[in-house]
Amino acid sequence: MITVEHLSKRYGDVLAVDDLSFTIEDGHVYGFLGPNGAGKSTTLNIMTGCLAATSGEIKIDGHDIYEEEREAKKLIGYLPEIPPLYIDQTPREYLRFVAEAKKIAKDEIEDEIEKVIEETHIEDVADRLIKQLSKGYRQRVGIAQALLGNPSVIILDEPTVGLDPMQIIEIRELISELGRKHTVILSSHILSEIQAICEKVLIIYKGKLVAFDDIENLGKTMGANNVIEIMAETSADKATEIIDKVANITEVNVEDENSRYTSLSVNTDAVDPLVTCRGLFSAFASENVVLLKLNYVQTTLEDIFIELTTAESEAEAAMAEAEELDEDSDDKEEE
């Protein structure tokens, strides 16, 4: 279990991480999501002891990352954004160094290295120089390094950046496999990736935590404003008239109208949007209007993400404006 409390990191005047607090439970795949420059890497670097925090506290299974450095670091395997490889060595030599540095018992080192080589499927390249390996394999060697010593938490910073589509799929499969045995924290700015692998997601934006929940729950809470797409064989006026009779409709937008059909999108605040779908169907049926399409659009992580981050920046803009107004009024008072 990892607890992060009131973590802040300041680079000069820039606040990269702003009062971040969360708890990572054992045994899930966590997604760490945020746009570029949101403070993902900074947070992960601090959590692994590679960077000192300006303030705040991090505990890995109760061990403070600064006070009890050794104990805490033994529990974590970390793959930074750029895999830290000695390119003039072979993966086997490299893994041996990491294993020794992690103080794995001498008689277990061989087995441990073989185990991680097998787990990350790098048997074929284990004795070639790392500088001759492709990016996908280098990434695997990086992951193998993180797995040594069987740490309870594995932290991977953008593990699929710069890989080709096949390699991405392979690495994702590997991460899913790891998720069965370890707690995995994975950062990414690619939403589909998080959606594909992770069970829980933390969204950070400008150094602040804006959401932390199961992917499904996030969909539910954020989906308070669900969208239903309709295509009906009637005029726009008639269609809106019918829709107005249905309960829980908040907004109706006509997307397209022509001689044959009208396309609309309807927003609903119903707890279960499928009930609204049913209501719409009966309403149109009772008026004898043919529905060509009735589609409940499920909120994707992308929508949630955009909603959260724009809400956040709007709030900020509002704050800034309010401050400006304050200043203006102050100025006037002074006059």
Partner 1 sequence: MQAVLKHELALFYHSLTGYVFGAFLLVFTGLGALIYNINASVANFEYVLAFIQIVFIIIVPILTMRIIADEKRQRTDQLLYSLPISTTDIVIGKFLALMVVFIIPMVFISLYPLIFAMYGQVYLPTSYGSIVAFIFLGLALISIGMFISSLTESQGMAAGICVVAMLFNYYCETLADYVSATAISSLISIIVLMIIIGLIIRFMTKSDILGYGFMAITAIIAIVVYMVKSTALESLLPNVMKELSLFSRFTPFVNGIFDLTAIVYYLSVIAFFLFLTVQSLEKRRYNG
Compute the C-alpha angle 256/259/260, nearest 5°.
85
- Find the binding residues for partner 1 in span 128-147 (CB under 8 A): 145
318 binds partner 1 (CB under 8 A): no
Q: How many CB atoms lie within 10 A of CB 168?
A: 19
> CB burial class (10 A; 0-12, 13-18, 19+) of residue 158?
buried
> Which part of the chain contacts partner 1 (CB under 8 A), choosing from 23-31, 91-99, 227-235, 261-269?
91-99
93 binds partner 1 (CB under 8 A): yes
52 binds partner 1 (CB under 8 A): yes
> Which part of the chain contacts partner 1 (CB under 8 A), choosing from 96-104, 196-204, 261-269, 306-314?
96-104
Task: Report, in Å, the least distance between residue 55 CB and partner 1.
Answer: 13
Q: Cα(102)–Cα(105) distance, rounded to whole angstroms?
A: 9
80 binds partner 1 (CB under 8 A): yes
86 binds partner 1 (CB under 8 A): yes
Pick 49 or 56: Cβ nearer partner 1: 49
- Contacts of residue 126, defined as CB under 8 A and 6 or more positions apart, other chains included, come to 90, 91, 92, 117
Q: Cα(114)–Cα(122) distance, rounded to whole angstroms?
A: 10
Q: Cα(279)–Cα(248) distance, rounded to whole angstroms?
A: 10
84 binds partner 1 (CB under 8 A): yes
- Rounded to a whole number of angstroms, the CA Rg of the chain reads 26
69 binds partner 1 (CB under 8 A): yes
Q: Would you tell me which residues interact with partner 1 (CB under 8 A)?
A: 11, 42, 45, 48-52, 69-71, 73-74, 76, 78, 80, 82, 84-89, 93, 97-98, 100-103, 145
